[in-house]
Amino acid sequence: MALLETQNLTYIYGEGTPFRIAALQDVNLSVEKGELVGIIGHTGSGKSTLVQHLNGLLKPTEGKVLLNGEDIHASKSATRAARFKVGLCFQYPEYQLFESTVYKDISFGPRNMGLTDAEIREHVLRAAEFVGIKKEWMEKSPFDLSGGEKRRVAIAGVMAMEPEILILDEPAAGLDPRGRARVLGMIENYRLSTGKTVIIVSHSMDDIAEIASKVVVMQNGAPVLTGTVGEVFKSAEKLVSVGLDVPQLTRVFLRLKAAGVDVRTDIYTLPEAKRELLRLMQERGRAQ
Ligand SMILES: Nc1ncnc2c1ncn2[C@@H]1O[C@H](COP(=O)(O)OP(=O)(O)O)[C@@H](O)[C@H]1O
Ligand SMILES: [Mg+2]
C-alpha cells in the first residue's frame, strides 16, 4: 500500500462561475515511504493545487486522497490527522512569518499539536539544526534576517512538526544560486537523516535532478511523465515539448550525441558526467 495516494483527483476553481478553471484532471499519483518525489512542471500546470490537496487544505472536486489507505476527508479527525502527518511549506513561506522571535515562529506548529513545552523545545532545536539556524538567532526577530535566512526559518517551522511527509512548494524559488544549493542540500540532509518522505515542487530540473528518487512531470493539470530521474531525462524531447528544460549537464551530453559522439544522454549529475567523459577519453586513447 502506498503511503500517500491520489485517485482520479480532479479540482475545479470557480465551479459554476464564468471563471471556471480545471486545475487538476484525473490525477493518479502514489508516493511510497522514504521517497523524495520531485513534482515539476511549467507555471500553471497544477503543482501547487496538487500539493494543497495532499494535506487536506483543498478538497477534491472529484476523486480521493488516501493517506495510509484512508481517505483524508472520510471524517473530521482524518482531515485533522492529515494536517499534522503531511506538513506543507508554501511557496515564499517567509511572507508568513509573524511571531516576534525566530524561536516562537518555529514553535508555532508544534505548539498547535498539543505537545509539552519540553517536547516543543526538542522539536524546534532539531528542526533548527537541519536548516543551520544558529542558537543566537532564536531570540531575534525574524524580520532582522536576510531573505534566505527567513526562508530557512519558515522551512524549520514545518519540519518542527515532524510530519511523516514533508512537502515544499518551490523551496528554492527566488534565491541566488548559493542560496538555492544550500536550501536543497538541507532538504536532502533532512531526508537522509530522518528517513522521512519528502515531496519537492519545482519548475527547475536542475534543482531536483540530483536529489529526487522519483519525478512527476505535470502539464495542464495532470502528470505526463513519471519515473526515476534517469527515466524521465531519457525523454528529453518530451520534456522540452512541455516547456521544461533538461539540466544543463544533460544538454551538454545531448549536444555531444547530436555532434556524433557516442555518449550516454541520461547524464544529470556531476560524478556521472565525469565517469562518462573519462570512459570516452579512455576509449579514444585506446583507439589511437
Ligand atoms: N485561487 C485560485 N483561483 C482560481 N484559479 C487558480 C487559483 N490558483 C490557481 N489557479 C489556476 O489553476 C491552474 C493551476 O495553478 P497552480 O496549481 O498554481 O499551478 P502551478 O503551481 O503549477 O504554477 C492555473 O491555471 C491557475 O491560474
Ligand atoms: Mg505553484
**What tens digit of pLDDT does each residue of 116-155 get?**
999 999 999 999 999 999 888 999 999 999 888 999 999 9
Helix (H) or strand (E) holding 225: strand 222-227
**What tens digit of pLDDT does each residue of 40-88 get?**
998 999 999 999 999 999 999 999 999 999 999 999 999 999 999 999 9
**What tens digit of pLDDT does each residue of 104-119 get?**
999 999 999 889 999 9
Which residue is it, cell 524580520?
143
Residue nearest to atom 1 of ligand 1 (CA): 13
Distance in Å, CA 47 to ligand 2 centroid: 6
* Residue at 242 is within a domain: no
pTM: 0.89
Residues with CB under 6 A from ligand 1: 13-14, 21, 23, 41, 43-49
* Residue at 278 is within a domain: yes
Question: Pick the residue with more confidence: 203 or 288?
Answer: 203
Of 145, 164, 163, 162, nearest in space to 153 by CA: 145
* Residue at 241 is within a domain: no
Residue 226 sits in the same domain as residue 252: no
Distance in Å, CA 132 to ligand 1 centroid: 32
Q: What is the residue-wise DSSP string for 77-135?
A: HHHHHHHHHEEEE-SSGGGG--SSSHHHHHHHHHHHTT--HHHHHHHHHHHHHHTT--G
Residue 32 sits in the same domain as residue 131: yes
Percent of the chain clearing pLDDT 70 (strictly above): 99
Residue 257 sits in the same domain as residue 232: no
The CA distance from 111 to 113, in Å, is 5
Give the CATH number of the domain where residue 95 resides: 3.40.50.300
Q: Give the model's pLDDT for residue 230.
A: 82
Q: Which SS3 state, helix, strand or coil, does residue 166 take?
A: strand
Assess whether pLDDT exceeds 80 at residue 95.
yes
Give Cβ neighbours of residue 280 (< 8 Å, ≥ 6 apart): 261, 262, 263
Residue 152 sits in the same domain as residue 74: yes
Assess whether pLDDT exceeds 90 at residue 159.
yes
**What tens digit of pLDDT does each residue of 1-15 get?**
899 999 999 999 999
Residue nearest to atom 26 of ligand 1 (CA): 44
Residue 74 sits in the same domain as residue 163: yes
Ligand nearest to the CA of 44: 1
Distance in Å, CA 54 to ligand 1 centroid: 16
* Residue at 93 is within a domain: yes
Q: Give the model's pLDDT for residue 186.
A: 94
Residue 144 sits in the same domain as residue 265: no
Which of the 8 DSSP states describes residue 227?
E
- 10 Å Cβ neighbour count for 49? 20
Lowest-confidence pick of 55-59, 216-220, 264-268, 279-283: 264-268
Distance in Å, CA 45 to ligand 1 centroid: 8
Ligand 2 ion local residues (Cβ < 5 A): 48
Residue 147 sits in the same domain as residue 97: yes
Of 226, 271, 219, 269, nearest in space to 248 by CA: 269
Distance in Å, CA 232 to ligand 1 centroid: 24
Residue nearest to atom 25 of ligand 1 (CA): 44
Q: Give the model's pLDDT for residue 47.
A: 97
Assess whether pLDDT exceeds 90 at residue 286.
no
Percent of the chain clearing pLDDT 90 (strictly above): 70
Confidence of residue 247 (pLDDT cuts 50, 70, 90): confident
Residue 271 sits in the same domain as residue 227: no
* Residue at 15 is within a domain: yes
Residue 259 sits in the same domain as residue 167: no
Question: Pick the residue with more confidence: 225 or 243?
Answer: 225
Residue 144 sits in the same domain as residue 90: yes
86 contacts 163 by C-beta, under 8 angstroms:
yes
The pick from 49, 61, 204 for probing ligand 1's pocket by mutation, whose C-beta has the most ligand atoms within 8 angstroms, reads 49
Residue 216 sits in the same domain as residue 287: no
Ligand nearest to the CA of 42: 1
* Residue at 53 is within a domain: yes
Q: Give the model's pLDDT for residue 288.
A: 67
Q: Give the model's pLDDT for residue 106.
A: 96
Residue nearest to atom 4 of ligand 1 (CA): 13
Residue 206 sits in the same domain as residue 81: yes
Q: Give the model's pLDDT for residue 195.
A: 95
Q: Give the model's pLDDT for residue 246.
A: 76
Assess whether pLDDT exceeds 80 at residue 243.
no
Distance in Å, CA 46 to ligand 1 centroid: 6
- What is the span of the domain harbouring residue 273? 247-288
Task: Calculate mean pLDDT across residues 254-272.
Answer: 87
Number of structural domains (the chain) is 2
Query: Rounded mean pLDDT of the chain?
Result: 92
